[in-house]
Amino acid sequence: MVRPNFDLSEYQDSEHANYRSQWSGCADLSPSFFENSVSYLEKEKRLYLEVSPVYEFECMFDLYEDLEYPIPEVYQREVTEAEVEACRAELQIVREKFGSVFQVQPPNPLYPYDSTEHKTNAFSGTTVVVPLGEGILNFCYADFKSAFDRCAAVYQELTRTADDPKKIHRIEEGVIHLYELYAEVFPTLSEVFYSSIYTAAFPPQFTRKAEKAFTYYQQYLSLLQSEFLELIEFCLDKNYRPKVLGRLYPSERYSLWCKIKGVPSCHKRQETFQPDSCNPYGTEMPFGAELDKIDVDQEIILSPEQKAFCEEHGLPEYELELCYKIPCFISSSYTCNNLRDMLYLEFTKILEAGQEFQKCRRCGKYFIVKGNYHGAYCDRIADGEHRTCQQLAAQEAYLEKLKDNDGRNPLSVYQKYYKRYFARVQSGALKRDKFKLWQYEAVRKRDDCLAGNLTLDELAEWLEKSMPNRSSRKKAPFG
């Protein structure tokens, strides 16, 4: 091989080369660790992410026994029913953190009450249902920086323990050592991993407890967040550079983005096709069926033609009977080995589905345009708030309307009487059910006034007479 003799003292990498070099790996950490399966339902626009349970003790137990390795202390003693239930409750709390957007379906326990119920990762063995687009948004807006800051001191303490290279004689020994390292590091950085659904499902493989691994993973997540926020803006936001990109489809925008970055636009997706009776995706054949309507106990009597068919092809008759009893569903799935693969799988599905994203005018974050809704505000809970941006924007608009006409308008007049009569409810002078009847009718009158069907004076007069004053004996509509 020819080795040219160049003076590289003044050589400078191109911007594209610098961009690609940011993804160079780290000897102490590999992003590709778990091999998870992902199915996509086009009609529902949902991803079904099956998180591998491989690096949990229940899957490692036979390996420990075969190699005669000492069982980790946490699994050596019998656990009580109460301890297992407490462990399940802790796992459920972590899973429910994402429950408002994602459905997390935990696996059935192998044994009723066993030490293997203890999980290193709360999402091991679960199936996570991800509405298309929500996985990327959940990842892009996760606060990894704060999580890393809170974990830094504990991780640094972990790096002070011995981390000498393990001598192995068989590949199985290496698997156990990686598992034990994973089981030690994951709890230390669990707050980072549980910051988003995808980092929980695709934790990296630490090969050493080193500061470099910590720093690299932090940089890796930051780069991915920047890349996909940029992709959402460039490819999916119709309001981004409309005079330049407005005529292009999102897929064409993506092709252009790749040319600008100097990266290939192709992504290989490892797909597996299988007719399967176990995992229906949907309720209509050939992808699924309503399981409660499948009669597995029905009696099948094969006709002479069917029996002859079995004999001709050497097929046991019971196999053909099972085909008539139990449907066989089409299932296709993708294999993802790391976080970046998962994000690009979802992103390319977004391009195929023609999904639109829009930036919220209040919080500045992107949200998915659903149906014909092109509102200006998202339904995400704003930072430091208990209500969504939509709710906050509606309240702000309401308060702004109160300023019209020197503060005297249908809204402010209604609010005045609402406060007056609600105070009576709180003092016990007015029954709550009567107040609710009044409120229903008062809102109708207020809206009639806003629509121009009632004057402001007429509204005020009705509100004044709708409840009796304490000093007046005159009967009112809701007295």
How far are the Cα atoms of 57, 89, 189, 190, 240 from residue 118, in angstroms, in the given order? 8, 11, 17, 15, 48
Q: How far apart are CA 63 and CA 394, in angstroms?
A: 59
* Encoded tokens for 402: 């109160």
What is the residue-level pLDDT of the chain in tens, covering all 479 positions?
Answer: 455 666 666 666 655 555 555 555 688 899 988 899 999 988 889 999 999 998 888 888 888 888 888 888 877 777 778 887 888 888 889 999 998 899 999 887 666 655 567 789 999 999 999 999 999 999 999 999 999 999 999 999 988 886 777 777 778 888 888 888 999 999 999 999 999 999 999 999 998 888 999 999 999 999 999 999 999 999 999 999 999 999 999 999 999 999 998 888 888 888 888 888 777 777 788 888 887 788 888 888 999 999 999 999 999 999 999 998 888 888 888 999 999 999 999 999 999 998 989 998 888 899 898 866 567 888 887 766 677 888 888 777 776 766 666 778 888 888 889 999 999 989 888 899 899 999 999 989 888 887 788 888 899 999 988 887 654 445 566 65
| pLDDT score of 75 | 79
| pLDDT score of 344 | 96
Put simply, whether the predicted model's pTM sits higher than 0.95 gets the answer: no
